[in-house]
Structure 1
């Protein structure tokens, strides 16, 4: 699946205009929050956010800027997971999950050095991913995906524990975002 297909699937999953009272993000359309839309020049009512503008925001902020496109050149399924997590939790959180998982899976630095979990995909993260995929082969991709899902699931539960209003979203997050 390429980025355009991922964005289309995401927009279908996110739906149209929503303004749930328990959602700290406030009004959204196609999953784009009002704050993000405003920061990128959209001045109209959120109900009127054009689909093509949402698509452009997703590509710019949640694909190219965090360098998930670079990850996709190495492993499309990992990049797709990072994109989806990044949309829901922020790209830096998704990148940090990747860095943490890669560091935990490096067999005490025998395969590659530990990464600084700074939330930025750079040369060290890409080199670690390359090495991980080479050393672990096809099975490594599946294990890395499970690691990313585990980190994401733990964060969702923590969000609900810390803010009971998030319990309204927990079931959907776990059902629609994990695995």
Structure 2
């Protein structure tokens, strides 16, 4: 699922940016140099800056290794770290992945608070999504959790926008609105069994 979901996340991140109001400073594909200075992609960016003098906003590197470096970064630093392969529902995988990318541990704390306060789950609100948090996620109605978490994220964005982040609020909310719950369709195997059972029942 990671390879299917990552493009949905990256479409919100753009390419090269060095926004003066972004606390992460220089970023590429959402990877902030301030927080991830050892990412190998920065060597490529630096060489391209040196060759060009400067890079325009949303500049896209054509280096052959760049997209692989971006993918490896998001897999190891985000997807694997919060055990998203173990989350059963793909819509929840998407919105949790996006929250962790966009808000870090605060995105996970929001989820844990929703699970604790709205679903009665006895879990710690520590911003670390381990096996206990994943078990809690998988134990509740996925659509109800999705909608509650989406609402909690909207409230969070509105709250932090009051602390000098107003310029980002519209983008955050637009990003959030792009995620909607999609019920997992019936599998072909199950559909075949249902069809066979229906055939025999109708001919009894």
Q: Deviations over 1:115-156 (max 9, x none)?
A: 111112223223322322xxxxxxx22221111112211221
Larger Rg: 2
Residue 170 of structure 2: aligned partner = 171
Shift of 1:172: 1.0
Q: Distance in 2 between matches of 1:177 and 1:130?
A: 22
Q: Comparing both structures, which one devotes a greater share of its residues to helix?
A: 1
Please say if 1:120 is aligned against 2:134.
no
Shift of 1:41: 4.3
Residue 157 of structure 1: aligned partner = 158
TM-score where L is the length of structure 2: 0.70
Relative to 1, partners in 2 of residues 1:37 and 1:122: Cα closer, same or farther, differing over 3 Å?
Answer: closer
Instruction: Return the match for 1:61 from 67, 73, 77.
Output: 77
1:84-99 counterparts in 2 under 5 A? 84-90=98-104, 92-99=105-112
Q: Distance in 2 between matches of 1:42 and 1:55?
A: 11
Shift of 1:95: 2.2
Q: Deviations over 1:41-74 (max 9, x none)?
A: 4442366582221111111111001212222xx2
Relative to 1, partners in 2 of residues 1:41 and 1:35: Cα closer, same or farther, differing over 3 Å?
Answer: farther
Residue 82 of structure 1: aligned partner = 96
Residue 135 of structure 1: aligned partner = none
Check the 8 A contact 2:79/2:97 in 1, yes or no: yes
Q: Distance in 2 between matches of 1:141 and 1:38?
A: 36
TM-score where L is the length of structure 1: 0.79
**Stretch of structure 1 that moved more, 23-32 or 94-103:** 94-103
Residue 188 of structure 2: aligned partner = none
Check the 8 A contact 1:30/1:51 in 2, yes or no: no
Q: Distance in 1 between matches of 2:173 and 2:138?
A: 29
Q: Distance in 1 between matches of 2:20 and 2:35?
A: 18
Cα root mean square deviation, aligned: 2.1
Check the 8 A contact 1:99/1:125 in 2, yes or no: yes
Gaps of 5+ in 2: 47-54, 56-60, 180-204
Gaps of 5+ in 1: 133-139
